[in-house]
Structure 1
Amino acid sequence: MVAMHAGLRPCHVRVLAEHRSDDATVSLVDYEWPQTFIFQDHYNSVHYRLMPVNLGLRGTVGGQAERDLGNMSLLPAGSLLKVSDHGADHRARALRCLFAPAWIERLLGQPLGELIPDSDRYLGLRNGNARNCLHRIALELLEPGFASGALIESLMQSAVLEILRDVQDQYLPARATEAVASAKFSHSQMHRIVTMIEDSRQGPPSVAALAAELGFSISHFRRLFRATTGQSVHEFVSALTVEQAKSLLANSRLSMKEITYRLGFTSPSSFSVAFRRTVGCSPSQFRSRARS
């Protein structure tokens, strides 16, 4: 239950669909809020905004530096979050997952607040696996199927664990020390990089964007990347793009034009030239051979 503070109008919540269990409540909700509001919850909670995709929401926990809330945040029980809206539309549809502190303790052996005490690190999260789990939960709430409750609870556990692994890997001092000592990216960090590249629909993300995602300077990111992969960022992205292209050509019914723009090329001809240079044949020839 959200506790609003005196002097501030409450955030209005309309529940569209909901699943309850002994440990958790998962809801698809419509929010409407004033320009600034503060809330505190007795439960751990995950909030995943479905639409609109872009909003000017920023938040701060416990008086720490204000951060962009993005589309996904996790709040440990008792966290005091102040939200300010710098956009024009004060409404959104979101997935809200509330789960009892005891659930995390049974799952991890310790309270969430002790695992990573710095609560603001849970704001503005980006994790492709967690996002996919939460999106599937939203679809299941709208159109429940066989064993819907069990599926929702399993997906929620997966989403929370993905988020915690991500946050711990990026911010926990011990993990940071390991990363410096080994001078290489961890498996989780490489997974985040690959996810960001594969999720891009407007061409590969810049090195600056990739470095910012992991919290490194561009030069340090380049050094760690080469030490981890043996390739430059450009070489790695090019190879990954070719593998995506091969998979789409062999396993999908997408037209050459659709594949071209999905992979971020400006025209089918530029895609064909890049593909031939790496693979040794045209995309059409590769598709014919793969399907023969």
Structure 2
Amino acid sequence: MSGATRLDAAGGLVASWRCNPGLLSVEETMTGSPARAFEELLQQGMAGSGQPVSQFWSRADGKLHVQWYRAPSQVMFAPHTHSEFNIVVCLDGAVHTRQLGNGETAEAGQAMMGSNPGVEHSSQYLPGRQGCQAVSLTFAPEVLSSLFRAHSLPAARRGYVPAFTGKVSSRTIERAAEEIVEEMRNRAFAHEAIIEGLAMRILVESFRLWPKERSGEVAEDTTPRLARRDHVRTFEFMRWCRKDSFRIQHLCRFLGTSEERFNRLFRAATNDSPASFYNRLLLDQGCALLEDPALSIKEISYQLGFKTPSHFVVTFRRQFGTTPQDYRYSRIPKLLR
């Protein structure tokens, strides 16, 4: 198979990684799983696969998370909701979000509020010359409340939480994000302590600069939902797995949670089931592959992990109301037909 890399992980796990479209196919052994294979691939830095890759640092209390995100091509997150704040610092390419009726795009060197607690939002990560790269700071409302209280800043009214839109430009924030990337890349002695300090620098500097006219309140929503960190890890795990090897139990093992809890929190965040969400992601990748006239429908169905081409055709038609062949015909320029 062209472009395949194999690794033998501890416990006898054997995984195959396909460069196009970068999907993971795993033969499970007595001690192995796709979840473990995915961890191995992340550790090897498989960003060249064409799939998005994230690396996380989390504070011990689980209230503060830092994400270093890299994607070589455009990635879209459909509308969903978290119970945390999220500040995104764009380092390359651009990041677009939409929430509270506002759309905002941050370019390299800018920081934006990616999400507010209990507020539905969507986002797109748009590549620049070397893909898209960003550092995200996700924090619980208690972190912000504690910061405001410590510095005698006004709190939100009872039953409400602060909400922010817009973006800021700051070389201090950008430099802190760049230093976080270096600490995550090198993992030198005490890098966790350095990352936490840099994350707090980004947090404080952001709210020093945030325009008052882009600050407000929204009603507090205490619905339990999938945390943003686990939402991102779910999204990336799903995008790495072929249909013939994707299993909810493997994903839950990767996340360290039960299937019942995961299904409940995932549906609360996305208004969708994990299986339906996965199939849509898989077929979206199928749409991208269909724009390559060199690939046959049979080859695409195999790369995505469908048992037969007819299974792919039926699933595609059910999702999009047209066949893969008709979709391809509508997308490929006439000169290439």
TM-score bracket, normalised by the shorter chain, equals 0.3 to 0.5
Instruction: Give the TM-score, by structure 1 length.
Output: 0.44
Structure with the bigger percentage of strand: 2
Structure with the bigger percentage of helix: 1
